[in-house]
Chains A and B, each alone.
Chain A
Amino acid sequence: VVRLGPRLAEVCAEWPRSSWRPVGQARRPLSTSERVPRICIVGSGPAGFYTAQHLLKHHKLARVDIYEKLPVPFGLVRFGVAPDHPEVKNVINTFTQTAQSDRCSYYGNVTVGKDVTVEELQQAYHAVVLSYGAEDNRILGIPGENLSGVYSARAFVGWYNGLPENRDLKPDLSSKTVLVLGQGNVALDVARILLTPLDLLRKTDITEGSLAAIASSKVKRVWLVGRRGPLQVAFTIKELREMVNLPGARPILDPADFAGLRDAIKDVPRPRKRLTELMIKTALEKPGEKEAKIWASATREWGLKFLRSPLEILPTADGKRARGIRMAVTRLEGSGESATAVPTGEVEELECGLILSSIGYRSLPLGSSVPFDRKHGIIPNHLGRVQGVPGLYCSGWVKRGPTGVIITTMNDSFDTAQSVLEDLQAGMLNVSNTKEGFESVRSILQSRGVHPVSFSDWEKIDAAEVARGQLAGKPREKIVDPQEMLQLIGH
């Protein structure tokens, strides 16, 4: 209860409360807590942070709390982006600003769905945005998939990027030939990390453990295998260019795969055209001086195989490990992005001891209270509003599917934030019904023995990682054990 001076009390008596718009400083004592939208975001990757950013910028009162199951924030920016792509990670700076702003709080080490339910969050907040991404991968669904020596690219990436759940992967890198199933940017990333000269990898934030394993790797050749043709590759030109220019490595592209392709791309949009032209040039033309030098002294190779669909992963005699793969030879029906691969009846076998399946990430359902479309692997929604559940929203890969780069997720997150802002403006989120936000959740977590990690706790972990990295000439040495992280901050 606030005591008003006599003149102010008169004025307030005249004006109906609903017409008050707080102006100036945010710390006015009058009724602000009743009109403050409290919004909860589940997931602290780019989707979560961009959604938070947009909400905070375009609503002067809203308070946003970001929950994250790991102690540390940033999702795929920390655990997905390749160690040799530090520029892409610059977005962490803007996310850090958001996390440090007044009306934003970060709560790490809280698993929504286990430590606190979505329903409990909906009790505590006016709006809940699910931005928890895609933590699983698509399955090949072929025999031999579970043999030793077969890994999802997602787990492999998690391993070299220090994702706690993948720290004990111990991939067997003693095979000379590696097969990557899939021709997207993740496939190129894993190929590149396997083939990059060690003295370059050493200076990145790749984990110490994986660096040591890669240092004793016998891998000499990596194939990226796709079911369709060159015109359907999912990787983008910057990443392909990096492979073509990779020191110490030479491309193996079959000219027959590219015959007649120049004509086929005459009228396609520029991005696809330039990408295909680079492949054609690499496959068919004599290399320029720079490339010729690299290729002449290359000790490692990478290549693209097209029109091959995996049928079975073949085991060693003892039945325990992968020794090769049997693939169906396909042909294309239709053209362009919608072309499909149809088996021809022919079959091919290839020997290899390490197979990485890079056919896509996959989101998982959160619980029975959140609808989930299993066929498409997304939460059914319209413009980010979860179907049938007022006050529940989603953004990022769990909303759209697991493709796209940071800008895709940024735009998508802004869209969802826009839906929340519209609903606030239209009175659909009943902000006059006071919600306690984290204050309600705090006691729930306490009763369950869960200790959230704050953003300043993360900053301590961050500082420790950077300090350890400095000793090794790296930007940071990631801590891969969540217990170690928690001990560091005194939890």
Chain B
Amino acid sequence: MITWRVPRLFRPLLNGLNIGKAQPCKVAEHSQAPATLQPERSFSSTHWLRDVPRDPSSAERVTVHFINRDGEKLTAVAKEGESLLDVVVNQNLGIDGFGACEGTLACSTCHLIFERDVFQKLDAISDEEMDMLDLAYGLSDTSRLGCQVCVKKSMDGLTVQVPMEVSDLRRQLEVGKQSKQ
């Protein structure tokens, strides 16, 4: 488990154009972390360190599978209301470079590909999300940004694909081999 020691380096500029748009998922009430970016907040990363309780008796547990770029299946038990980016971060799943901008719709590194029937049931995509998704590698018509998709109970057993980002197809196999050394 990586210790996320995040120095107080940066505070977000929360001008009128940015408030709220990056955090669509509401965390359950009994969570200890603030749920959404507030204008008074000074940490850009506190929302990132979702202090979501792992107590099974509180909010619903949802199993999610991520198929990594090397084909390995990473399984996580998520909490309803977390974003898929939160799941990857909180459970320290080994997906290289995932979530560079920490869920603020300033990159496309949390790009995920969904099964069609699941994709169609997701909450509507905003212009801001689509703007960033447009820059993603391997964009498909069932692509979304993980930081904008909230885990719901109905997603139990969901499988998502982490798109191939590396430019040379031969690399697919090497990436897998290297990390298993």
Binding site for B on A (CB under 8 A): 50, 53-54, 57-60, 84-94, 96-97, 100, 200, 203-204, 236-238, 241-242, 245, 247, 270-271, 274-275, 383, 405-407, 410-412, 414-415, 418, 421-422, 425, 459, 462, 466, 475
Min C-beta distance of A281 to chain B, whole Å: 12
- Judged by DSSP, the binding face of A is helix
Q: Quick one: which of B96, B101, B134, B167 contacts A236, CB cutoff 8 A? A: B134
Min C-beta distance of B91 to chain A, whole Å: 16
In chain B, residues 136-177, which have Cβ atoms closer than 8 Å to a Cβ of chain A?
136-137, 139, 165-168, 171, 174-175
Instruction: Kindly list chain B residues whose C-beta atoms are within 8 Å of the C-beta of A58.
Output: 175, 178-179, 181
Starting from the known contacts A87-B22, A91-B101, 12 additional A-B residue pairs (CB-CB under 8 Å) come to A54-B96, A87-B44, A88-B106, A93-B6, A93-B9, A236-B131, A241-B127, A242-B17, A414-B165, A415-B166, A421-B178, A475-B11
If A60-B181, A238-B132 touch, whether A383 touches B100 (CB-CB below 8 Å) is no
Binding site for A on B (CB under 8 A): 2, 4-13, 15-18, 22, 44-45, 94, 96-97, 100-102, 104-109, 127-128, 130-132, 134-137, 139, 165-168, 171, 174-175, 178-179, 181
If A407-B109, A410-B97 touch, whether A86 touches B10 (CB-CB below 8 Å) is yes
Contact check, A274 vs B134: say whether CB atoms are below 8 A apart.
Answer: yes
Contact check, A241 vs B101: say whether CB atoms are below 8 A apart.
Answer: no
Closest A-B pairs by Cβ, 4 of them? A87-B104, A271-B134, A87-B106, A238-B131
Q: With A and B bound together, what is the CA distance between A241 and B132 in angstroms? A: 12
Instruction: Kindly list chain B residues whose C-beta atoms are within 8 Å of the C-beta of A407.
Output: 97, 100, 107-109, 135-137, 165
Q: With A and B bound together, what is the CA distance between A245 and B132 in angstroms? A: 17
Q: With A and B bound together, what is the CA distance between A221 and B130 in angstroms? A: 30
Q: With A and B bound together, what is the CA distance between A50 and B5 in angstroms? A: 18
13 interchain pairs, CB-CB under 8 A: A60-B181, A86-B44, A87-B22, A93-B6, A96-B9, A271-B135, A407-B136, A414-B96, A414-B97, A418-B171, A421-B178, A459-B7, A475-B13
Return the chain B residue nearest A247 by Cβ: B16
| Residue among B105, B139, B175 with the highest chain A CB neighbour number at 10 A | B175
If A274-B134, A414-B96 touch, whether A93 touches B166 (CB-CB below 8 Å) is no
Min C-beta distance of A373 to chain B, whole Å: 19
Q: Quick one: which of B13, B17, B165 contacts A204, CB cutoff 8 A? A: B13
